[in-house]
Structure 1
């Protein structure tokens, strides 16, 4: 083609292309370049898919309520050391059975059986010296993760042989050594003589690793609970203000776990208790057995089951025999002749069992009265007057008894935390006042009362009901007589000062008695004293009325709460705990005790075991062995709702 022709074609093309074509081409080139860059970038990073919405939150499911049973009780008690007289109560007995480990436990018939969750074997391995070997369960441990081991045996032995105010200490006093083997999981216990009742020892062990170095551990650390569990339950909380103790399953228990998640002990009075049983809020109850509570429960439909449940104690009037006006056994006997025991029971514990023995309790198999024909079981003012006159007492013109020309005045004490004991004391004081003897009633803390010769002169906070007796007319306790004669808690009352009745105004009672000021202590001439029963009778007699001999380990053994020690009896007590006591020895001891009268047996308290039909089906609850009580076996109870 000629140059003229090519020029003509270019002219025709330009005539068809718009004027802005070069700009469009440039823009397209830029877009192509950007697209190339984007494609190159995409080859280095994977292409993300569409954003997925978050998964829906799981729908919360309702958690099942913990299974539980509620047991109504009368009082929580002063503390929870099962070895202290001051802490004895149905609640303490129940907690010990469910929380604390014991080498032997009573079966349904009361016969001691080895608890293999605690010890795989326990046997006598030598008779010279008498030695018992315990092989402890390797898995047994406290809920604090410390093993149940030899140190727990040592701790209990040391405390029982040397602390005042303990129950059944005679067997522990026979131990001369406790030896540890196998890292503490084997224990050899050596005795000074053969001791057939050795199976009664080392029950309700306490966690030594926690208690042994704690200040006041024996009497103070167990006031508001047990610091560790070695049983199927553990104490979750103790709320004294609400009157409630909550037990929960011990998740560290190495044997069969409890069926229930919780067991609640709740303090309830009669009307509230009846409402709780009717509504199903309360399943089982253990109130004091009285006609009043029976009447309250009688209106429930369907009627609950009622079973008597005697307590493992006998309430007695202890009389101080080591000093003071009652050191003369004639005076002690005269006081007993002025006490109307039937009237005391009627006023305070009408369904209790009258006790006429220093050994067995009325509810125990084989019990029989050991009182001789001349025993002071009933009021006899004439016999009392003869005995007091022979002891040098005289009556003044007003008919009041005097000693060496001054009015006689006695101090009668009951533990402040034991309201039934306080009512017993006030009732007896009323009777003695009517017979012409001034009596001041005080209510110090139980630990001091059962462990110390002198106690704070704290007035009681409860009032005994007027009680008609054959030796007096009905009368209301007054400010100066009838069991509420004031004792100034800021002043010491020496023996010589007791001859003059106190005229100092009483301190204002408070809900919790407080210790008196320095020097404000008195010696109690009489004390309302619980005596433990349900164990080995010989050991109990030797513990309650024997004279502990000084030893290298315990050069100054603690006195009994009454100070009684009759050396002529000690060989008989030693025989009772030996391998071969004569059949007549126990009877001989009883005769001497009735003659010396260190205490006057009053009654065995009885509670009323109340259970609904649903609770019966879930628990098969019964009075249980005397020493462990109705809550024995509660780890196997089922909830009433299935």
Structure 2
């Protein structure tokens, strides 16, 4: 699923610990390789080779509650992917992660002034909302005002970039929008994407509650046909008012499936693709005659988040002790055992290892140091008891991973309990509400560096933005704000790496590894799969004739 910055509700996917004798022979496994930064695997086919009609059946991790991706509770990955299917994506990215204007919605979008910075959007005059209104300046203005953080009644996910906008106005005609910034913003293409309808977001009531279990207004080749909570399915259908190329498929069905049973659901032909990124799954899937294994290099960070907003972890010494107690290389090695990728740790919160700008900034906080951890805990002096919140629907491998983490912390004197919670409550009642000490999930598709800002933003009252662990500092905020207005790429990279070193020092979170994008896809499904850094185009997805 293509997301600008999304959080997928999957706990750590790590294979069970076992003896060497219980594993398949090493010689039978593919050689481990570093996946190229622009790797994709989608079975590209021309549209005339595809059937008209048919369905794509996809699994999602949970029933979606909040569909407003601008809302603080709207960051769940599956929900955001559904919204991106039915709302305007002003930009699409290529295999190198470079953004390009989407002609279905934009004639052009470019910097027309640098002092001050002005971005001029020329909208496709055919583009309209499902209520019949054309896309226009009101939609841009409302998105700016609901996202810039000034009106606290709007429970926004984050204000990065939007807080730098000083004015939104109509240009030469209703199809032209001009956005003026008070300071240059390097990642301006990350804003207004997806664009949400003003008519469904222009009051706090609509913004906060109008998207609960529904998408009220759409503008795409697809719309939501049915929400079936009993069957746990959301079905997207073609929108006949669409002005662009007609999709090949008739329907796309999203079905909430227990992650532990998704593999069996795929093998039983109930869904059309499943992750093959776990050892057990890969071994069972790689020789299946109906399956293609497709490989891509997605921006996909598996990490452990520390909650500095409560209990012992409010003390930085304890957070640093946890960092030093975790053997990240062991976790990565176990997680990626017998997969055709190298098990290497991730040393950055901003870059993947195969990206320009990557450097390992973990320093002393990314290395196993049992004695160092014990020393910090002795300085803290009080017994440390923590909880690890785990999605109860997680596969056994994730339970094994949590157990391994429990053992690591136990070795330095930290008592860790594992609390299993219902899958549908995992984010809404625990992660987003800060009801955890340690938790693990993924950050995906962070193609614009400034998109990380909300993960470190200073919480205000009940709104923590995307900083669910509430760990930050004025110095970090200053670095990130400076970086996002630095248009020189090399200078910006330097600032983000300085910020990254500080994030490690603060004990905000522990990156573990880049999750490989290994997907098992039903043979015959074209233009779909491991898309890497490029955008999915569901209008071109279909079944080969």
TM-score (norm 1): 0.64
Q: Verify: 1:291 aligned to 2:279, yes or no.
A: yes
The answer for the alignment partner of 1:306 in structure 2 is 293
Structure 2 Cα separation of the partners of residues 353 and 258 of structure 1 = 40
Structure 2 Cα separation of the partners of residues 353 and 98 of structure 1 = 33
Q: CA deviation at 1:204?
A: 1.2
The answer for the alignment partner of 1:262 in structure 2 is 251
The answer for the alignment partner of 2:349 in structure 1 is 358
Give deviations 1:454-504, integer Å, cap 9, x for gaps.
Answer: 54xxxxxxxxxxxxxxxxxxxxxxxxxxxxxxxxxxxxxxxxxxxxxxxxx
Structure 2 Cα separation of the partners of residues 195 and 71 of structure 1 = 39
Structure 1 Cα separation of the partners of residues 78 and 453 of structure 2 = 26
Relative to structure 1, the CA distance from residue 273 to residue 69 in structure 2 (aligned partners, 3 Å threshold; closer, same or farther) is same
Q: CA deviation at 1:427?
A: 5.3
The answer for the alignment partner of 1:543 in structure 2 is 454
CA contact (8 A) 1:416 1:446 kept: no
CA contact (8 A) 1:146 1:209 kept: no
Alignment of 1:30-69 (within 5 A): 67-69=53-55
Relative to structure 1, the CA distance from residue 627 to residue 78 in structure 2 (aligned partners, 3 Å threshold; closer, same or farther) is farther
The answer for the alignment partner of 1:195 in structure 2 is 185
CA contact (8 A) 1:411 1:439 kept: yes
CA contact (8 A) 2:285 2:520 kept: no
The answer for the alignment partner of 1:596 in structure 2 is 506
The answer for the alignment partner of 2:4 in structure 1 is none
Structure 1 Cα separation of the partners of residues 74 and 397 of structure 2 = 13
The answer for the alignment partner of 2:446 in structure 1 is 534
CA contact (8 A) 1:531 1:544 kept: no
Relative to structure 1, the CA distance from residue 426 to residue 270 in structure 2 (aligned partners, 3 Å threshold; closer, same or farther) is same
Relative to structure 1, the CA distance from residue 633 to residue 192 in structure 2 (aligned partners, 3 Å threshold; closer, same or farther) is same
The answer for the alignment partner of 2:11 in structure 1 is none
Structure number, greater radius of gyration: 1
The 3-state SS of whatever aligns with 2:377 is helix
The 3-state SS of whatever aligns with 2:365 is coil
Q: CA deviation at 1:69?
A: 2.7
Give deviations 1:338-393, integer Å, cap 9, x for gaps.
Answer: 2233555577776687422111134x533644135523333x3212111211x332
Structure 2 Cα separation of the partners of residues 187 and 421 of structure 1 = 50
Structure 1 Cα separation of the partners of residues 361 and 120 of structure 2 = 41
Relative to structure 1, the CA distance from residue 543 to residue 271 in structure 2 (aligned partners, 3 Å threshold; closer, same or farther) is closer
CA contact (8 A) 1:72 1:273 kept: no
Q: CA deviation at 1:434?
A: 5.3
Of 371, 385, 393, which aligns to 1:409?
385
CA contact (8 A) 1:408 1:437 kept: yes
Relative to structure 1, the CA distance from residue 286 to residue 529 in structure 2 (aligned partners, 3 Å threshold; closer, same or farther) is closer
Q: CA deviation at 1:419?
A: 7.8
The answer for the alignment partner of 1:458 in structure 2 is none
Relative to structure 1, the CA distance from residue 311 to residue 357 in structure 2 (aligned partners, 3 Å threshold; closer, same or farther) is same
Structure 2: tracts of 5 or more residues without a match: 1-50
Relative to structure 1, the CA distance from residue 614 to residue 565 in structure 2 (aligned partners, 3 Å threshold; closer, same or farther) is closer
Q: Verify: 1:446 aligned to 2:427, yes or no.
A: yes
The 3-state SS of whatever aligns with 1:179 is strand
The answer for the alignment partner of 1:33 in structure 2 is none
Relative to structure 1, the CA distance from residue 240 to residue 344 in structure 2 (aligned partners, 3 Å threshold; closer, same or farther) is farther
CA contact (8 A) 2:318 2:380 kept: no
The answer for the alignment partner of 1:135 in structure 2 is 122
Q: CA deviation at 1:577?
A: 1.2
Alignment of 1:64-213 (within 5 A): 67-73=53-59, 75-76=61-62, 78-79=64-65, 80-83=67-70, 87-88=74-75, 91-92=78-79, 94-162=81-149, 169-180=159-170, 185-213=175-203
Q: CA deviation at 1:418?
A: 7.9
Structure 2 Cα separation of the partners of residues 353 and 68 of structure 1 = 40
CA contact (8 A) 1:288 1:606 kept: no
Relative to structure 1, the CA distance from residue 230 to residue 564 in structure 2 (aligned partners, 3 Å threshold; closer, same or farther) is same
Give deviations 1:49-76, integer Å, cap 9, x for gaps.
Answer: xxxxxxxxxxxxxxxx982133343524
Give deviations 1:167-212, integer Å, cap 9, x for gaps.
Answer: 6642122223323457854322222201121112111122231343
Q: Verify: 1:611 aligned to 2:487, yes or no.
A: no
Q: Verify: 1:248 aligned to 2:237, yes or no.
A: yes
Relative to structure 1, the CA distance from residue 310 to residue 427 in structure 2 (aligned partners, 3 Å threshold; closer, same or farther) is farther
Q: CA deviation at 1:298?
A: 4.2
CA contact (8 A) 2:63 2:229 kept: no
The 3-state SS of whatever aligns with 1:584 is helix
Relative to structure 1, the CA distance from residue 320 to residue 370 in structure 2 (aligned partners, 3 Å threshold; closer, same or farther) is same
CA contact (8 A) 1:310 1:606 kept: yes
CA contact (8 A) 2:346 2:512 kept: yes
CA contact (8 A) 2:317 2:380 kept: no
Give deviations 1:397-429, integer Å, cap 9, x for gaps.
Answer: xxxxxx1xxx43334446788889985666534
The 3-state SS of whatever aligns with 2:161 is helix
Structure 1 Cα separation of the partners of residues 333 and 464 of structure 2 = 38
Relative to structure 1, the CA distance from residue 621 to residue 411 in structure 2 (aligned partners, 3 Å threshold; closer, same or farther) is closer
RMSD: 3.8
The answer for the alignment partner of 1:432 in structure 2 is 409
CA contact (8 A) 2:306 2:508 kept: yes
TM-score (norm 2): 0.75
How many residues align structurally?
475
Relative to structure 1, the CA distance from residue 540 to residue 260 in structure 2 (aligned partners, 3 Å threshold; closer, same or farther) is closer
